[in-house]
Amino acid sequence: MSTQLASALKKYFGFDQFREGQEDVIRDVMDGNDVLGILPTGTGKSLCYQLPARLLQGTTIVVSPLISLMVDQVKQLKASGYKSVTALNSFMDIKEKKQVIQNLDRYDLVYVSPEMLQNERLQEDFRRMTVPLFVIDEAHCISQWGHEFRTDYLKLHRIIDSIGSPPVLALSATATPEVQGDIMEKLNRPGMIRHIHPMDKQNISLSVEEVQSPEEKTDRIVNILSHIHAPTMIYFSSRQWAEKVSFVLREKLSHRTAFYHGGMEQTDRMLVQQQFMSGQLDVICCTSAFGMGVDKKDIRLVIHFHLPAQTESFIQEIGRAGRDGKPSASLVLFTKKDHYLPQMLIQSELPEREQLDLVLGYLKRQEGQELLEDASIMEQLQLSESQWNFIKYQAEERGVLNHGKVQPFPMDFESRLHALLRERWTYKQGKLTEMLTWIHHTGCRREALYQSFQDHIRPPYVPCCDACGFSVNHLTFQESQETPAAESWKERLQMIFHQGPPHA
Amino acid sequence: MFESIVLLCIQRFKGERTVSGIFNMLTGKRSSQTMQDAKAYQLDHLFGIFPELDRRRLDTLIDEMSHSGEIVLNEQSFPQITETSREPSTQTFPYFKGMTWHEVVPAFIARLNLLVQASSNKEAGIQSYVAIVDNPEAQLWVKKVFATFQNKLARLNQSLYEELEKLLSAHDPVQAELFTHRLTGGGWIGLTLDQLKEKFRMSKEDVLLGLRHTYYYLFQRAKMDQDAYPVLHLCTRGLQASHLVTASAGKTYQLIAHGLSLEEIVTIRRLKKSTIQDHIVEAALVTPDFDVSPFLTADQVVEINQKAIDLNTQRLKHIHQDLGGVYDYFEIRLALAHGRSTHIERKPLP
């Protein structure tokens, strides 16, 4: 079986081998089992159903929460030569939709949004077809404890049963055992085989240090880096601080340092990312905007100058260290006042109650009309981008916004939106509290950080954490190779065109 | 360099234009006014060379220059040079030719940067990399070049290197530094603007202008001499000089060419008379053989132009008054525009 799978992998996707975790999931899926797979982002989650979809007879259904995500995936698959895939979504025009639906059984793989799946006619079509596998991507959306809770997901189990109870594969990148249990319960599949990719990193030492002021944080970083020469990331939650600290480091240290944030010009963003990837930078001062598609293996140290608003983000960010498996470390610097910043972040992400009422009133007055473009609405109503996105998304989902036009509100639209907002506030506050609790934890940090994600924490093969006796002062990384800088434009041109003395 | 360029604008504008006039010139605003100014004040080489200019930086510079006494702000608060002003040196940027090339230079930059990356990476055996230029047209173009030169890519790479080496050797050395350090390829990643600024201890404006000027230089040299710079010439192919008129002025121009009168055009296009007049002046500026006879005789054109030279001004009001109010402003603008584009014989500027 495994050689068969391996040759299919080579044939359809051009890969020589599976990444960690993929093969186990796929094998169980091919055997007709219900599977719950928790695989961190960047591990090739989607291959877990894309390969079976090619091999199984019939049409595999994938429920995906984001239309943009679906469209992207279909594009990518088509570009790689996999043509019999499509995405059904509310943005297709009627003709297009009709055409796809009429030929539904010709596709190997159909992406669909949970909202679309509520359509009776579509369910009817699926009933007549052979559906060998039903996939739920971003399955944490099913759980009220997952961070993108969506109510239409709750109806999935009925639909699955009505189309002949095909095997179910639920996938997610982050799900605590609590969320995992909830997913299985809501899907009514208590016997799912779990494949939980462990989150804990055995090669990363953890540490937290309290200081009195942001300036002291900077001093401490200078102090630490003066005896460490290795690829280092420093996370900030504000652009200004990322820039400011990078200037100080450049002034006080010989490390090649740059900043990176979403406010930079597109080309420069890419250049900084590429410089870091290719070892032409040692230290990068960045916001969470850095990272998409960055797979640098030899990052040795991740410092958090500011706290993220939830442990999931934190785990993901420190997970950028030590992808090569070699010893690495994480350091969080915090002051007593540091909870304000993530608090403000949450505030800028979610609208307040009064703001929501304001927007709802505005939308009501616009009924039957084309909505202005996002930027002018945000300005007119004084909303941040994510505040507006939150409301707009819900309005689109409930049909209040249809092709840019405002429709009459469904009866419970306002009350449900308010309820959802309350829930999101409570949830985000809870997440922040969790993060802060970890910062002040006095026992083993490794256990405290990962215990909500997995039952068993593996013993690290590096010093564990500050509570267990580790300190970044013990680190002695000296791996950055000073790449020779060009002395003159002639030399630089020679280096680029490989005309001069060769450099490794 | 930025300061020199702004000073040159101020000098040529003779205290007759605002700071916005300078800003519109450098960023290449497509308005009749700016295009006419470009010709009238001989600033067409600077038209559109600095599209990323930040208005606040320009204002700050003007403030600084007026504080230091380098320039004064006249009664209308238009900037003006003084007796003690330095003569703005045009030596550091002789290759700007904005009015003609500013529309196609960005395409040249995209092609060149991507070709250098693709070609040098291929030479170095680097197969997977992130394209430095996100522009699909440039990517398609490089793909085509690669397809055409399949078996000669090593030679193309060598030639590209030699062409750049040769041209840069004859170029301003600091600008050559900026240019080469901005390039990405062969495993080396280009520097960001911020990094260039710091490395060469220059202002952001000077970095941007130094780079832009180098691209203008390479573009024009390569465009002119295919034999000496075959690969760089390839990057310029299909990129044509622009005959700058706004789309709307183009329509008006077509109607005039069909022999319609100003009044008829006003009716057909349902535009204000003054707008149509703007279009006519614009067309006269960029069309050397533009026929002004429906509006002015050849003698009248000479008379008006001579007056502008005598008074050493482009201010319509002065010319209008000094000619006893015989000509209206449209006629004066048209005559000046026609004079600029046909180089009517005139006394040299004092």
Q: Is residue A345 included in any domain, yes or no?
A: no
> Does A486 sit within 8 Å of B120, measured CB to CB?
no
Burial group, residue A456, by CB count within 10 angstroms (0-12, 13-18, 19+): exposed
Tally the domains of chain A: 3
Domain assignment present for A344: no
User: Would A503 be classed as within a structural domain?
Assistant: no
Q: At what angle do helices A489-496 and B173-182 cross, to 10 degrees?
A: 30
Reported as a single tens digit per residue, the pLDDT across B106-157 is 999 999 999 999 999 998 888 777 778 877 788 889 989 998 998 899 999 9
Token pair belonging to B205: 């404006």
Whether residues A496 and B183 touch (CB distance < 8 A) is answered with: yes
What whole-number distance in Å separates Cα of residue B186 and Cα of residue B163? 17
Which regions of A176-292 does DSSP assign to beta strands (E)?
A: 193-196, 204-210, 232-235, 257-260, 283-286
The b-or-e profile of B248-285 (16+ CB within 10 A means b, else e) is bbebbbebbeeebebeebbeebebeeebbbbbbbbbbb
The minimal CB distance from B180 to the residues A278, A489, A499 is found for: A489
**Closest to A489 (Cβ–Cβ): which among B160, B176, B188?**
B176
Residues A208 and A190 grouped into a single domain: no
Which of A196, A222, A245 corresponds to the end of one domain? Answer: A196
One domain, residues A225 and A248: yes
**Is residue A81 domain-shared with residue A181, that is, in the same domain?**
yes
Q: Is B270 left (phi over 0), alpha (psi -120 to 50) or beta?
A: left
| pLDDT for position A324 | 83
Identify the pLDDT of residue B345: 43
Structure tokens at A98: 């009709």
Pair (A56, A19) in one structural domain: yes
**Residue B344 backbone dihedrals phi, psi, to 5 degrees:** -55, 140
Q: What are residue A328's DSSP bridge partners? A: A204
Minimal C-alpha gap between A61 and chain B (Å): 33
Residue A257: closest C-alpha in chain B = B195
What pLDDT score was predicted for residue B348? 41
The enclosing H or E element of A252 equals helix A239-252
Distance (Å) from the C-alpha of residue B156 to the closest C-alpha of chain A?
11
Query: Given this model, what pLDDT does residue B349 score?
Result: 41
Predicted ipTM > 0.90 = no
pLDDT score of A90: 67
B173: which chain A residues are within 8 Å (Cβ-Cβ)?
Answer: 489
A189/A149 same-domain check: yes
Q: Which residue of A has its CA nearest to B186?
A: A496
Q: Are residues A450 and A422 in the same domain?
A: no
Which residues of B fall below an 8 Å CB-CB distance to A? Answer: 116, 120, 123-124, 130, 132, 134, 157-158, 160-161, 164-165, 168, 173, 176-177, 179-181, 183-195, 198
A501 domain-assigned: no
Distance of CA A59 to the CA centre of its chain: 28
CA distance to partner chain B, nearest, from residue A233 (Å): 18
Alpha-carbon A437 to chain mean position: 23
Q: Pick the last residue of a domain from A383, A399, A432.
A: A432
- Interface contact flag, B134 A278, Cβ < 8 Å: no
Same domain, A74 and A12: yes
Amino acid (one-letter) located at A205: S
Burial classification of residue A234, based on how many CB atoms lie within 10 Å of its CB (0-12 exposed, 13-18 middle, 19 or more buried): buried
Q: Which domain holds residue A87?
A: 2-196
Partners of residue A264 in chain B, C-beta under 8 Å: 192
Cβ atoms of A329 and A205 closer than 8 Å:
yes
Those residues whose C-beta lies under 8 Å from the C-beta of residue A242, and which sit 6 or more positions away, are A234, A236, A259, A260, A261, A285, A286, A287
- For B120-152, give one letter per residue: b (16+ CB within 10 A) or e: bbbbbeeeebeebbebeebbebbeebeeebeee
* Chain A: residue whose CA lies nearest to B155: A497
- Residue at A168 is within a domain: yes
Does A186 share its domain with A77? yes
Instruction: Please choose, from the candidates B200, B126, B131, the residue with its C-alpha nearest in 3D space to the C-alpha of residue A267.
Output: B131
User: Are A272 and B193 within 8 A, CB to CB?
Assistant: no
Residue A364 placed within a domain: yes
Q: How far apart are CA A170 and CA A261, in angstroms?
A: 34
What pLDDT score was predicted for residue B244? 59
The distance between the two most distant Cα atoms of chain B, rounded to a whole number of Å, is 75
> Does residue A118 share a domain with residue A149?
yes
CA A257 – CA A242 distance, rounded (Å): 11
CA dihedral B43, B49, B55, B57 (to 10 degrees): -100
Backbone angles phi, psi at A406, to 5 degrees: -85, 125
Task: Clarify whether residues A212 and A191 are in a common domain.
Answer: no
Rg, chain A, Cα only: 25
- List CB contacts (< 8 A) between B197 and chain A: none
CB A172 within 8 A of CB A181: no
The CATH number of whichever domain residue A88 belongs to comes to 3.40.50.300
By C-alpha distance, which of A302, A346, A341, A339 is closest to A438?
A339
Place of tokens 């020589």: A16
Residue ranges in chain B modelled with pLDDT below 70:
90, 243-247, 287-288, 341-350
CB A295 within 8 A of CB A42: yes
Residue A396 resides in a domain: yes
Which of A140, A165, A196 lies at the terminal end of a domain, its last residue? A196
Question: Residues of A with CB below 8 A from B188's CB?
Answer: 278, 280, 492, 495-496
B58-63: long-range pairs with CB below 8 Å, 24+: B58/B6, B58/B19, B58/B22, B58/B23, B58/B26, B59/B19, B61/B2, B61/B3, B61/B6, B62/B6, B62/B19
What is the Cα gyration radius of chain B? 23
Q: Residues of A near B (CB-CB distance < 8 A)?
A: 250, 258, 264-268, 270-275, 278, 280, 486, 488-490, 492-493, 495-499
pLDDT of residue A282: 93
Closest CA to B232 of B259, B250, B214: B214
Determine the distance from the C-alpha atom of residue B257 to the mean position of all C-alpha atoms in its chain, rounded to a whole number. 27
Q: Which of A249, A497, A503 to mutate to test the interface with B (most CBs of B within 10 A)?
A: A497
Q: Indicate whether A64 belongs to any domain.
A: yes
Pairing of strands A328-334, A204-210: parallel
A266, A275, A497 member nearest B161 (Cβ): A497
Nearest to B165 by CA among A492, A490, A485: A490
Kindly report the nearest CA distance between residue A12 and chain B, in angstroms: 20
β-strand partners of A235: A286, A304
**Is the C-alpha dihedral spanning B155, B158, B161, B162 positive or negative?**
negative
pLDDT at A20: 81
Strand extents, DSSP E, A380-469: 401-402, 405-406
Low-confidence ranges of chain A (pLDDT < 50): 1, 501-504
Do A56 and A184 fall within a single domain? yes
Q: What are phi and psi of A136, to 5 degrees?
A: -120, 110
Task: Based on the fold, state whether residues A267 and A312 are members of the same structural domain.
Answer: yes
| Nearest one of B170, B7, B22 to B89, comparing CA atoms | B7
